[in-house]
Structure 1
Amino acid sequence: MVSGLAANSFVAVLGFAGGLGVGSALAALLIVLDIIPRLAQLAFAYRKSIWFETAVVCGALFWSLADFLEWRLWLPKHPTLIVIGTFDGIFVGMLGAALTEVMNVLPILAKRVRLSRYLVSLVYAMVIGKVTGSLFDWLVFQYMDP
């Protein structure tokens, strides 16, 4: 009885600590990189930035509840995957673009390896590599036998 209680308490503390760590990391990412103000600036919606903030908080809350309560929604497989994949791609692309823009990764990389003249080619190579790798993983690798 006591060992079960101790194990459950340990799992609860570990889960709470993990949640604090992930939540803190997300908050730090959003604050340090100014993702929401930059998105409001790009959308010319300075006065409506509260909507961006509310969307992030509501999205995190909704998906946390969906995960904890094991909500299931039965939808047709292929159209749903296309829609979800599109939104996932938009999210990852915007996050990657925000990180790249804020940290000035490409100009620094091009300058350090003396590729400033080939910066456009470097961007195209990265995009083509990312798309090719994603398509390979999506269409080929996931169907290979383990």
Structure 2
Amino acid sequence: MIELATNLFIAILGLAGGLAVGSGLVALLIVFDLIPRLAQLARAYRMSKWFETAIVSGSLYWTFADFMDWKFSLQSLSLISIIGLFDGLFVGMLAAALTEVMNVLPILAKRMKLSKFIASLVMAMVLGKTLGSLFDWLVFQW
């Protein structure tokens, strides 16, 4: 009975974590208007539905690939170069879109009357992310 409750708790915890990450990604895409920005940077305004479809399809495909433990049969060098190319394209386009919309922090600091503390806010964010990553890597990975 205790094992069933433990497994149920772990399943609920995993579902909650997945929903939190998924909703964070959706919030990022919606709040920053990343898909229209990507379409603008690519000069492909009429193809923004294809960008949306590609993001959803890629998410679903790689979710199934992870759950089903799918394997590739390509040579490792060609597979690395193909995946690296698409990863590089995605990260580059995402970074370009984010640089255009990242004026959110100065606007937020100005509205909250924290403009003189902007350097401290950025450092707090950087240190928090770094320490959180180190804590996760050193405590939970070992």
- TM class by shorter chain equals 0.5 to 0.7
CA drift of 1:48 comes to: 2.5
Which letter does structure 2 place at the counterpart of 1:95? L
What does residue 48 of structure 1 align with? 47
RMSD of equivalent CA atoms:
2.2
- The answer to whether structure 1 residue 28 and structure 2 residue 27 are counterparts is yes
8 Å contact 2:41–2:97 — kept in the other structure?
Answer: no
Bigger relative CO (Cα 8 Å, ≥ 6 apart): 2
Work out the percentage of aligned pairs sharing the same amino acid: 63
Larger of the two Rg values belongs to structure: 1
Query: Could you list the per-position Cα deviations for residues 10-67 of structure 1 after superposition, in whole angstroms to 9, with x for gaps in the alignment?
Result: 1110111011011101101101111101122233332321111111111111111111
CA distance in 1, matches of 2:34, 2:21: 17
- State the 4+ residue runs in structure 1 displaced beyond 3 angstroms: none
CA distance in 2, matches of 1:52, 1:65: 20
What are the ranges of 5 or more consecutive residues in structure 2 without an aligned counterpart? Answer: 105-115, 117-142
Q: Normalising by the residue count of structure 1, what TM-score does the alignment of the two structures yield?
A: 0.65
CA distance in 1, matches of 2:94, 2:47: 20
After the TM superposition, which residues 47-126 of structure 1 pair with which residues of structure 2 at under 5 Å, given as runs? 47-104=46-103
Q: Which moved more, 1:47-56 or 1:64-73?
A: 47-56
For the residue of structure 2 that corresponds to 1:64, the secondary structure is helix
CA distance in 2, matches of 1:40, 1:92: 14
The aligned length equals 107
Rate the CA distance shift 1:7–1:17 in 2: closer, same or farther, 3 A. Answer: same
